[in-house]
Structures are given as C-alpha cells and as structure tokens.
Structure 1
C-alpha cells in the first residue's frame, strides 16, 4: 500500500563505538610525547629556550637518521646490528681523506670526505643484504658479522689512534646553524620526510611492506625479494655513514672505539617505541621520529631532576618492553 511504504535506513554494518583503549593504543606515542613536553615546560627551568631545544634535537638527530634505515630493514622482517660499526668506519675514513697530503685544505678533499666514506659503508650495507638474501643467513647473524668486524676495520684504519681535526667546511654538517637551526636537524627532517613519502607513496615502499608482511605471497606476486633486501640494507648503511660523519664533525675528532657505540640499540629502541612492528609488514617513519624524541626527552627529564644516567638506561629498557607489550595488545 502507498501509505504503508516507509523507507528503512540501510544497515551498513555494526556502528563503531568509540573506545578509549583503542584511542590510547593508536596515539600512545604522540600522547606520551605531549605529556613529557608539557611536564618539562612546567617543571623544568629553561626547557622552552631555543638553546635547550637545539640541544635535544641535536642529540636525537643521529638516532633518527640511523633509525629511518633501521625502520626500513625491520619493515622487511630483518634487523641491522652493524649500523654502529658502519658509523665508525665512515668516521675513520673521512679525516684520513681531508687531512691527507694531496687533499689537505682542498675543496676536493672535503667533497671526497663526504662522498667516499658514505659510499663505502653503503656497499658494506649491500654486503649485509647479500648475506641475507642470496645466502639466506638470518639477518641477526648476517649483520653480526660487520657488527664485530666493522669496528675492527675502523680501528685498523686509524691504527687505534684518536684523529683530531679542525676543519670548518667539513664540520658544518655537525656544527652549522643555517637560520639558527642545527644543520643536522634540517638534514634529519629532510630524511624523515623523504623516507615517509617513499614508504607510503612509491612502489618500493609497498614492496618493502609486502616482503615483511608475507614474503611467500610477495614472491608469488612478482615482488623482487632479493632486490628489496639489497635496497633496504644499502639504505641503512648509507644513513649510518651520514650519521657517522655528523658525529665526528660535532666532536672534532674520530675515535673508532666510540663512534656509533650502542647506536644499533638506540635505533631499534626508537623503532619499537615508535610503533613499527618488529616482525615486519608495518612501519612508520614518523613513529620512529616520535619514538626517538620520547626516549631523548625521558633521558633529559631524568637528568634534569638529578637522576643518574645509569638509571635512564634502565628506564629505556623498560620503555622498550612496554612498547613491545603494546604492539602485542594491538594485534590482539
């Protein structure tokens, strides 16, 4: 009947109810970072000064740069323990180049000091990819090779000696401040933006995530598995090389025993806290940036309150455990 013909609303499925638990899980990183920022802004003197901001960003820049490469490796289901040693190799090579007799005080020497060390460790990163993809070694074993041998290579290159230098042109990468902003912070932001765009918008990014999500399915879909693994380990090596140059530029010295020490742990911690799945298949570059900032702010907060740095290391370990537990609850 015409009078009884009523329209019923379409049922498009069950309505999604707002859940505080889901919200906190999804935005836990940003919330934690905001809480730390507000706490320090209120209770830590001079926290909002430009000097303090620059100090924190400078200290976190190398961790983020290395963490970006680590994020890509972990996204494929791998791990890279060699990044600290690769930093040491790059840091050992650069002064040897620009302080050599033929290239001393030459712009060509500075250019080569930037290019050759980074190229060298990129090739070593490619070697990691070769061990993982071609020889089917587990990533933790494959990269353990250069974790051990890489620092030995750096020590052999320098004869175990501290290399000190003063070279404003080279040191600009670590001490320059265009527009009052540390150059390495600008470089960090550019690398984060470029890597985030690549991961989300390019075929390479989709292939990286597909390899980590389901390698067998990716292979059946025509994804070049070996090429992808070569690429992520090479990128990780390249970024470790850049971080190594920044480190020695800041310190005006290269110490093969100290450059990049424990950097692999800091990078993995930033990736885990940032929300990237350690099993692969899902990754967030911006999350790695947030994770590194959280770890740095927690350390800064504890030191500002007179807590020893040794305690800060224990807290960092607790944060990693919490991040992994949060990942498990998200999947559940």
Structure 2
C-alpha cells in the first residue's frame, strides 16, 4: 500500500458563502448596519431617550405586524387593520368615560381594554368568513372593512375628537415597568408567543401548510377555512390592541387618524423581515426586525435633516429590495 493510498483524505473545509448569508439574513444585517451608521453620524443616538422614542413609535407597527405575518403566511392579506384600530380606539373612550353605560371606574377601565379588542377580533373573523364562505380574494374582502371600518368609527364618535385623561387606561401606552415602556413589554410577549406558536404548535404548522399549498392541505385533512378565519381574527385582535396603545399615547381618539396607513407599515415590516408574501413561510422575529429597520430609517433621515417625504421613498425601496431577496432565496 502506497503512502498516498494510506493517507486519509483531508477534511473538506466549508467555504463561507457570504452572498447566501446576505440573502438569508439580509434584514438582520441591514439592521446592524443601520445601528452602526447611526452611532457614527447621528448625534445622541446611543441614549435612553432615543431608544425610548424609537420603541414607542415601533411597538404598534410590530403588534399589527404579528397578526399580518400570520395572515400573509396563509397566502392572504389584511387591508383592514388600520380601520380596526380606529374602531377599537373610538370604542374604548366611550366605555371608560361612561358614554355607553354608567359603570364603576375599575370595571369601566377593564371593559375598555377587553371589549374594543374583542370587537376588532370579531371584525377580523368576519374578514376570514367572507374569504372562506364566498371565496372572495383577501384583498377585496378586507377592502370592505378598510373603507367601512373607519366610517363605523366616525359614526360611533359623530366625527368628534375624544380627548381624555385616564391614567389607569393610558398605562397601556404610557406606563413603565422597571423603567421599560409597558407597550414594549407587551410587544415582546406577543412576538415571542406568535413565534413559538408558529414553530411549535399544530396550528402554526397548519398555517404554513395552508399558505404553501391549500389544496394539498385540505387533502391532508387540515381545516383550511377554520385556519384562515382564526388568523384573520388574530389579526383583528392585534389591531385592536395597537389601537388602544395609540390613543393612550395621544390622550385622544380621532377616528379620522388612528391607524391611518398602518396596513402599509405592517405589510412593509412583514416583507422586509423576510416572510414570503405568497405564503407558506413566515418569520415573526423577522417582522420585528423589519419594523425596526423601517423605523430606524425614518429616524435616521429626520435626525440628519432629510425631509420625512424621503422616508416614503426609502420605504418603497426597502420593499422592492425585500421582494428581490425573496426571489433570490426561492431560486437559491
């Protein structure tokens, strides 16, 4: 036996495929780069005040984005989330200010948290019912409440601005726990719960199966219609929570403005975060990263004297880039 034959083959070293890593983890890389750039060029970026500003502005987007991620994972879309925020935001003050019924204040505050969120969830379920019962395309079905929902909120308030001062209720938007904004804690809990459910539960696997191939999912015994109704209901619940946070921060509820454009921000966060817009694959943590990117881009431009309108152009570019990365990943 020759020495060449006796010598074992040297182990192959795995080459670091940087382009593949960028495609797979592009959102996280972009977030890290944004932070590094801001540390270099943005005054007072590394302060608690800056962190607080960005956290309070991104929480509602992330919470709505959690529900949107589940909807998009089934191959759908939800354009009604902004209007559902307006409905929840209009209903809550009517409850805790006693305009619907005279209730003890603690009970009124509890109902103001519970009932508007459940109402938003019921409207979300209605979206899913329209889609599954009448085979309406999701973009059309949710467009109904996108238009009518804000009208419902305006009718509930007679088009009037509701100004209030209710510290117990406003804790959801202004309260702090050990110095951390309560809404940020709520956001993290929802993100972790949704990410766990998507990866570890039967319901999560059903969501991805329906989005990947609905016909095959039905043949496998998955109740696709029930899964869709549930995810739209969850999207409505998330929108309701976000609506309460927004009015709590503003100490006022304006049916014309609460949630305005939120559906676009949520969809952008989902797309930038890496969830396939065609369904079948989703990442809730990616949605969190995507929302942070969008917020940091806007903050960076404003902090360095760039008009806010430029942020819209950058946001559009980020969505285009996210779609391109998705195509590269699917062809890879």
Could you list the per-position Cα deviations for residues 64-85 of structure 1 after superposition, in whole angstroms to 9, with x for gaps in the alignment? 0000000000000000000000
> Match for residue 77 of structure 2?
79
> Match for residue 20 of structure 1?
18
Give the RMSD, CA atoms, in angstroms.
1.9
Deviation at residue 42 of structure 1 after TM alignment: 2.0
Q: Is 2:40 the counterpart of 1:42?
A: yes
1:105–1:175: structure 2 CA closer, same or farther, 3 Å change rule? farther
> Match for residue 60 of structure 2?
62
For residues 235 and 110 of structure 1, what CA distance do their matches in structure 2 show?
22
Written as runs of structure 1 = structure 2, the 5 A alignment for 1:110-189 is 110-189=109-188
Contact 1:82/1:143 (8 A) holds in 2: yes
Deviation at residue 21 of structure 1 after TM alignment: 1.0
Deviation at residue 18 of structure 1 after TM alignment: 3.0
Describe the SS at the equivalent of 1:100.
coil
Deviation at residue 312 of structure 1 after TM alignment: 0.8
> Match for residue 323 of structure 1?
322
Could you list the per-position Cα deviations for residues 217-246 of structure 1 after superposition, in whole angstroms to 9, with x for gaps in the alignment? 100111010110011000000000000000
Contact 1:88/1:154 (8 A) holds in 2: yes
Contact 1:98/1:105 (8 A) holds in 2: no
> Match for residue 286 of structure 2?
287
For residues 278 and 142 of structure 2, what CA distance do their matches in structure 1 show?
17
For residues 105 and 183 of structure 1, what CA distance do their matches in structure 2 show?
25
Written as runs of structure 1 = structure 2, the 5 A alignment for 1:219-298 is 219-298=218-297
Deviation at residue 44 of structure 1 after TM alignment: 1.2
For residues 189 and 105 of structure 1, what CA distance do their matches in structure 2 show?
32
Aligned length: 329
Deviation at residue 35 of structure 1 after TM alignment: 0.7
For residues 266 and 236 of structure 1, what CA distance do their matches in structure 2 show?
14
Deviation at residue 105 of structure 1 after TM alignment: 6.1
For residues 308 and 191 of structure 2, what CA distance do their matches in structure 1 show?
28
Describe the SS at the equivalent of 1:134.
helix
> Match for residue 199 of structure 2?
200
For residues 319 and 130 of structure 2, what CA distance do their matches in structure 1 show?
28
Describe the SS at the equivalent of 2:98.
coil
TM-score by length of 2: 0.95
Gaps of 5+ in 2: none
Deviation at residue 104 of structure 1 after TM alignment: 6.0
Describe the SS at the equivalent of 2:134.
coil
TM-score by length of 1: 0.95
Contact 1:87/1:244 (8 A) holds in 2: yes
Gaps of 5+ in 1: none
| Equivalent in 31, 49, 52 of residue 51 of structure 1 | 49
